[in-house]
């Protein structure tokens, strides 16, 4: 994907939250970088401060932690979704997550320092504040749903919900990562899938 | 607590995120309401749209869901913490949570409509955007920690973390709500507490 197309996708993402005119877009775009992230490479790693927020314009990434030698998958981001080790990015402390490319990715990134400059910019400051507020609110709602799911739903209910809301992108995630994301073993997931197929048959 | 003291606490809360001068404060304060919420009364209920965000200036509330006739505690808010059925407040859809006073409370509230007016206000709009961005980011971090805890920690580890970070307010929460919050039965919590007391004895 060429740089202009990638930047245009970032603009569309911003404008899905806040309209920006050409002059405002120039001020913002001057801080953006387009980069490639090859499959298996990391966007964020534990113990390092995450200095960028990014938009996936092509590909997909997986968020995971390692505990007692085991990978625990927390989240995925696909095309037109943001990615960041958000807590590390915001608090300026080393993160705990890996963010790894599931496929070859193209990402448009904005650094923490550029973000702060943009907030204080006379021209685009207020719009950037609103953009970031709406993003934080959007992810807050996602997290609220995810916490609710953990405390109220069985793994089977969580899996059904994922099938309902996950759409086509689910095909792109290996089954053992999906099991991991649901907090169950691959064997349990196979059992759930067989039960569902029987019911719908 | 008198109204002026309650409003002053709200101002201090805002100023812990964004400084406001007296004129800006007047613009904001004209939209605030101070109200009492008696023990056991509800700030939010399932099936209703949550129209307010509030600051607890005295007392404490508990967030819970009911599933299959059982209460599942998701969260608590104490003095100087915000409360809202956030997803419902932001999306304007009926919520799923109860928010109930654990003790007699005093709450300073701001309505959804007033919030939108303030965002568009020439005088204080940008500061309100920043205030709400920082709040959303703060709660996003809390949620990120809570999701991490669910997928990486045992109930005993979650309880130890709660003891570490919860402080004095833990004394004010009945044990069965704490068990419920940790996703375990009161009997399991007693067992964990006995084990910890033995280790530290």
Residue B146: per-residue pLDDT: 81
Q: Is A157 on the interface with B (CB under 8 A)?
A: no
Tell me which long-range contacts A155-164 makes (C-beta under 8 A, separation of at least 24): A155/A182, A155/A183, A155/A184, A155/A188, A155/A189, A155/A192, A156/A192, A156/A195, A156/A196, A158/A182, A158/A183, A159/A189, A159/A192, A159/A193, A159/A196, A160/A196
Transcribe A162-174 into DSSP letters.
Answer: HHHHHGGGGGGS-
When CB atoms are compared, the residue of B72, B86, B152 closest to A65 is: B152
- pLDDT at residue number A121: 96
Which residue in this structure is represented by tokens 């890996």? A98
Interhelix angle B125-152/A125-152, nearest 10 degrees: 30
**Pair A108, A10: CB distance under 8 Å:** yes
**Number of DSSP helices (H) and strands (E) in chain B, helices first:** 8, 8
Alpha-carbon gap, residue B74 to B63, rounded angstroms: 5
Flag if A143 and B144 touch (Cβ within 8 Å).
yes
pLDDT given for residue B126 in this prediction: 96
Pick B91's closest partner by Cβ from A74, A90, A141. Answer: A141
Residue ranges per structural domain of chain A? 3-152, 153-201
φ and ψ at residue B189, rounded to 5 degrees: -65, -40
pLDDT at res. A150: 76
d(CA A56, CA A41): 14
Could you tell me which of B152, B115, B144, B113 has the C-alpha nearest to residue B132?
Answer: B115
Q: Which strands make up the sheet holding A105-111, listed edge to edge? A: A33-37, A105-111, A52-58, A81-83
Assembly ipTM: 0.89
A125-172 pLDDT per residue, tens: 999 999 999 999 999 998 888 878 877 888 888 888 888 887 777 888
A66 close contact with B: CB closer than 8 A: no
Matching residue, tokens 């600051």: B55
Place domain A3-152 in its CATH homologous superfamily: Jelly Rolls (2.60.120.10)
pLDDT of residue A38: 98
Flag if B141 and A87 touch (Cβ within 8 Å): yes
Mutual orientation of helices A125-152 and A155-166 as an angle, nearest 10°? 140
- pLDDT lower than 50: segments of chain B: none
pLDDT of residue B25: 97
pLDDT of residue B153: 85
Q: Which two tokens stand for residue B185?
A: 């039965």
Query: How much is the pLDDT for B168?
Result: 79
Of B119, B126, B160, B166, give the one whose Cα is nearest residue B142: B166
Is the CB of B18 inside 8 Å of chain A's CB atoms? no
Query: Would an 8 Å CB–CB cutoff place A68 in contact with chain B?
Result: no
Provide the residue-wise pLDDT of chain A in tens; the chain has 201 residues. 899 999 999 999 999 999 999 999 999 999 999 999 999 999 999 999 999 999 999 999 999 999 888 888 888 999 999 999 999 999 999 999 999 999 999 999 999 999 999 999 999 999 999 999 999 999 999 888 887 887 788 888 888 888 888 777 788 899 889 988 887 888 999 999 898 888 776
A151 to B65: CB separation less than 8 angstroms, yes or no: yes
Residues forming beta bridges with residue B44, ordered by sequence position: B99
Closest CA to A41 of A86, A105, A94: A105
Element (H, E) at B15: helix B3-15
CA angle B144, B149, B154 (to 5 degrees): 175
The predicted structure's pLDDT at residue B191: 92
The CATH number of domain B3-151 is 2.30.40.10: no
Q: What is the pLDDT of residues B54-74, one digit of tens each?
A: 999 999 999 999 988 888 888
Q: What is the DSSP string of chain A?
A: --HHHHHHHHHHHHHTTS---HHHHHHHHTT-EEEEE-TT-EEE-TTS---EEEEEEES-EEEEEEETTEEEEEEEE-TTEEE--HHHHHHTS--S-EEEESS-EEEEEEEHHHHHHHHT-TTTHHHHHHHHHHHHHHHHHHHHHHHHHHHH--HHHHHHHHHHHHGGGGGGS-HHHHHHHHTS-HHHHHHHHHHHHHHH-
Beta-sheet strand order (sheet of A42-44): A42-44, A98-101, A61-67, A70-77
C-alpha neighbours within 13 Å on the C-beta side of residue A143: 25
CB distance from B112 to chain A under 8 Å? no
The predicted structure's pLDDT at residue A68: 86
Per the listing, tokens 């775009």 go with: A29
Distance CA(A145)–CA(A152), nearest Å, equals: 10
Cβ separation B74–A132 shorter than 8 A:
no
């Amino acid at each position: 994907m060429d740089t202009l197309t990638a930047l245009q996708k970032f603009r569309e993402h911003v404008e899905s939250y806040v309209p920006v005119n050409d002059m405002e877009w120039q001020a913002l775009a001057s801080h953006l970088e387009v980069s490639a992230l090859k499959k298996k490479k990391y966007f964020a790693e534990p113990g390092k401060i995450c200095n960028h927020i990014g938009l996936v314009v092509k590909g997909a990434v997986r968020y995971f932690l390692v505990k007692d030698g085991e990978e625990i998958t927390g989240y995925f981001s696909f095309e037109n979704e943001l990615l960041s080790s958000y807590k590390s990015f915001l608090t300026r402390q080393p993160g705990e997550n890996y963010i790894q490319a599931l496929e070859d990715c193209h990402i448009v990134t904005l650094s923490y320092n550029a973000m702060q400059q943009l907030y204080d910019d006379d021209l685009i400051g207020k719009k950037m504040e609103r953009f970031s507020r709406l993003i934080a609110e959007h992810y807050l709602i996602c997290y609220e749903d995810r916490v609710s799911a953990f405390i109220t739903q069985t793994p089977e209910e969580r899996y059904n919900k994922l099938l309902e809301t996950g759409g086509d992108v689910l095909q792109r995630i290996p089954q053992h990562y999906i099991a991991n994301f649901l907090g169950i073993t691959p064997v349990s997931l196979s059992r759930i899938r067989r039960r569902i197929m029987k019911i719908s048959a």
